[in-house]
Structure 1
């Protein structure tokens, strides 16, 4: 099974999960780069608000044959109930995607981000084979390994069933 992982990360958490998944699946990990502001909390808040309510950001996504993978895992933090704007903006360009996608979402809370999953499902035009949501409590306490293993099982088992 060929797998690529594409993440946007603003604080390191989503990238850390992406690295764990890439290692476990033998997948290629790619990052979305978005226009960077100044460092600091205020700058991040300003950038997040701009990304939610303003026009387009400058987004750089590696040029890859995304649709030639058996599985594409898309990862991003949740901002105001939706996937982060850089990932959504790239998906709005309607890139060629494989039939099988999965989502990895991180957030400050522990509540499942149903709106973000629905939004990404609509943007990709595909029902995800698996969704992993990790909240700040799981990330800081280190209790995220179990959910990651379950997510990996869903990705691999559903691949075997469809192959």
Structure 2
């Protein structure tokens, strides 16, 4: 079994930056959720907010990596109108029965992170081993690095304690 998979959706690149840094820190495989319809421009932005507010899943292709092959799956999403992104909602609905342990993170321009993390955990029907919400401005100026390191440390502690319990 592989140790860690990080799955994320990113419209603007902010969530992608966090996912890549976390994958590097954890030695994880990385999977970007693709969207069947583009979300560029004003129309894409408005459609994104509308779908998020309505809890409407998006059309996404099948993932490349199988979450059942991993001990830990870390899920990352931007916050849209105080909700998780619709592509992440789709991924969770399609794959949640394959998650063993989860970690969660979100990026946000304003607020809503804790509510989004709670909604993700509820949709997964699992408690996360760790979670973090980051402000977009902190990600863009690299002020998120301490929070990212703490998240990676939490994963290492849980992974090491589980390995010790199996030995």
TM-score, normalised to structure 1, is 0.88
Check whether the contact 1:34–1:60 (CA below 8 A) recurs between aligned residues. yes
SS of residue paired to 2:73: strand
* In 2: Cα distance, 1:97 partner to 1:3 partner: 13
Cα distance, 1:117 vs structure 2: 1.3
* In 2: Cα distance, 1:153 partner to 1:76 partner: 20
* In 2: Cα distance, 1:123 partner to 1:54 partner: 11
Cα distance, 1:94 vs structure 2: 4.7
1:126-156 CA-partner distances (Å, limit 9, x unpaired)? 1101112110231232211111000000111
Structure 1: runs of 5+ lacking an equivalent: none
More helix by share: 2
Check whether the contact 1:138–1:144 (CA below 8 A) recurs between aligned residues. yes
* In 1: Cα distance, 2:72 partner to 2:19 partner: 14
Structure 1 residue 121 corresponds to structure 2 residue 121: yes
Check whether the contact 1:103–1:132 (CA below 8 A) recurs between aligned residues. yes
Structure 1 residue 89 corresponds to structure 2 residue 103: no
Which portions of structure 1, spanning 4 or more consecutive aligned residues, are displaced by more than 6 angstroms?
none
Structure 2: runs of 5+ lacking an equivalent: none
Q: Tell me the equivalent position of 2:134.
A: 134
Report the RMSD for the aligned CA atoms in angstroms: 2.0
Q: What are the equivalent positions in structure 2 for 1:28-107 lying under 5 Å apart?
A: 28-37=29-38, 39-40=40-41, 42-52=42-52, 53=54, 55-107=56-108
Structure 1 residue 156 corresponds to structure 2 residue 156: yes
Cα distance, 1:64 vs structure 2: 2.5
